[in-house]
């Protein structure tokens, strides 16, 4: 298993992370679907209660099993306590690791720090599989796929879990199921989520209804980077809230067959309504966003993502001309390349806030054109 990090930000035409590929069912609305399993080792205290030596032990045990488990043909391993801050930030932006794992703070308990033993293994070149070690739990097994693909992601995550459990003794209770640091993960330890692009529901004023309905169904609605993040760029993560007392099949059925198709249809109806009844307003929003992206000299991340959201909507609804620079994958990729660490990686140096805003605007002017 090679110890290597993500390469330089991909250019158009080069391989892109799985969640940006604009492939799979309902990829017009669903950027990606993700399955994540939380697991802990039986013989080591949970991360929030373990000392540094014990967290080093859990890291070694998990890494050794990863070496022999055969979870993917090509795997990169990164020990995050040895990685530079920009390297960790790149992995966060690529949705390979969480912000919490990047910082090294365990379970919100004030334990650990940037030098705390922790790591991640992830598949190359697609970054579809990521296994985080010593986050809130000893193991976080993640599979992410483009479009609405929860069943396929679950099958792959379950296979990886079996391969890891073949060499590791998990903390498990006959009564409660898999034991985790957070009570909401006890049981199956399973979280399933979808990253949804819902610009039309925002423009029609219906997005709050969807968020309230999701809350009523005990679903979590989060932003672009998951827990604690804002829904910039009209991107929302919807996931199951609890796992105790529910089987994997029941969680999968409710999300993939019932809840997510309903939200997808609401967004598509809102898009059709915009085209049929409010086309001039729609065109104004889209072309204003195009004008800003193709002409601005300074651009914040939030402004860029909101404008790219409208650009994506315009490309999907035929408001913008069909060109390689404005296809779905190219626009999806820009959502990644405008992030702070990727900008700094592209120019090869650290940038202050003003320099990042200038570099972001320059990148967008170069890429966004008819």
Q: Prior bond to 250 cis, omega within 30?
A: no
Average pLDDT, the chain: 90
* Terminal Cα distance for the chain, rounded: 43
Helix H segments across the chain? Answer: 52-69, 85-93, 99-103, 150-165, 199-203, 207-216, 248-252, 260-277, 279-295, 301-316, 328-337, 340-347, 353-367
Residues 6+ apart with CB under 8 A from 306: 232, 233, 234, 289
Quote the tokens at residue 68.
């022999």
Q: How confident is the model at residue 4 (pLDDT cuts 50, 70, 90)?
A: very low
Q: How confident is the model at residue 186 (pLDDT cuts 50, 70, 90)?
A: confident
Which whole number is the average pLDDT over 294-311? 97
pLDDT at 211 > cutoff 60: yes
Q: What is the pLDDT of residues 129-158, one digit of tens each?
A: 999 999 999 999 999 999 999 999 999 999
- What would the DSSP string read from start to end of 156-205? HHHHHHHHHHTTS-B-EETTTEE--SSGGGTBT-EEEEEEEE-HHHHHTT
In this structure, of 103-112, 226-235, 296-305, 337-346, the range with the lowest mean pLDDT score is 103-112
DSSP state of 244: T
CATH classification code of 18-269? 3.30.590.10
Q: What pLDDT score was predicted for residue 125?
A: 93
Quote the tokens at residue 249.
């099949």
DSSP state of 9: P
Q: What pLDDT score was predicted for residue 7?
A: 41
Q: What pLDDT score was predicted for residue 246?
A: 82
Q: What pLDDT score was predicted for residue 8?
A: 41
pLDDT at 99 > cutoff 80: yes
Q: What pLDDT score was predicted for residue 5?
A: 45
Q: What pLDDT score was predicted for residue 244?
A: 72
> Exposure of 147 by Cβ count < 10 A (0-12 exposed, 13-18 middle, 19+ buried)?
buried
Q: What pLDDT score was predicted for residue 230?
A: 64
Kindly report the pTM of this predicted structure: 0.90
> Percentage of residues in the chain with pLDDT exceeding 90?
78
Q: How confident is the model at residue 194 (pLDDT cuts 50, 70, 90)?
A: very high
Domain residue ranges in the chain: 18-269, 279-367
């Amino acid at each position: 298993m090679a110890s290597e990090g993500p390469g330089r930000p991909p250019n158009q035409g080069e391989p892109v992370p799985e969640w940006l590929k604009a492939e799979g069912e309902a990829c017009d609305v669903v950027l990606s679907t993700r399955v994540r399993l939380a697991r802990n080792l039986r013989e080591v205290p949970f991360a929030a209660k373990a000392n540094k030596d014990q967290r080093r032990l859990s890291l070694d045990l998990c890494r050794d099993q990863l070496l022999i488990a055969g979870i993917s043909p090509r795997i990169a391993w990164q020990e995050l306590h040895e990685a530079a801050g920009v390297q960790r930030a790149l992995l966060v932006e690529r949705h390979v690791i969480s912000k919490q794992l990047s910082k090294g703070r365990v379970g919100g308990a004030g334990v650990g720090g940037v030098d705390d033993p922790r790591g991640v293994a992830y598949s190359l070149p697609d970054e579809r599989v990521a296994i985080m070690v010593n986050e809130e739990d000893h193991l976080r097994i993640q599979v992410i796929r483009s479009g609405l693909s929860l069943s396929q992601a679950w099958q792959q995550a379950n296979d990886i879990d079996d391969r890891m459990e073949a060499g590791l003794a998990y903390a498990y209770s006959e009564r409660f199921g898999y034991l985790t640091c957070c009570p909401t993960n006890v049981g199956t330890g399973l979280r399933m989520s979808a990253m949804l692009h819902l610009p039309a529901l925002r423009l029609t004023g219906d997005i709050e209804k969807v968020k309230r309905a999701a809350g009523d169904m005990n679903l979590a609605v989060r932003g672009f980077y998951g827990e604690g993040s804002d829904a910039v760029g009209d991107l929302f993560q919807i996931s199951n809230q609890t796992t105790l007392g529910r089987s994997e099949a029941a969680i999968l059925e409710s999300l993939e067959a019932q809840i997510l198709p309903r939200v997808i249809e609401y967004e598509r109806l809102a898009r059709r309504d915009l085209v049929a009844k409010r086309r001039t307003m729609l065109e104004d929003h889209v072309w204003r966003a195009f004008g800003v992206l193709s002409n601005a000299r300074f651009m914040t991340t939030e402004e860029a993502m909101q404008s790219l959201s409208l650009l994506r909507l315009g490309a999907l609804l035929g408001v913008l001309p069909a060109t390689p620079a404005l296809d779905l994958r190219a626009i999806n990729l820009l959502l990644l390349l405008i992030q702070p660490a990727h900008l700094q990686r592209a120019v090869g140096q650290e940038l202050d806030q003003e320099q990042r805003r200038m570099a972001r605007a320059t990148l967008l002017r170069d890429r966004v054109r008819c």
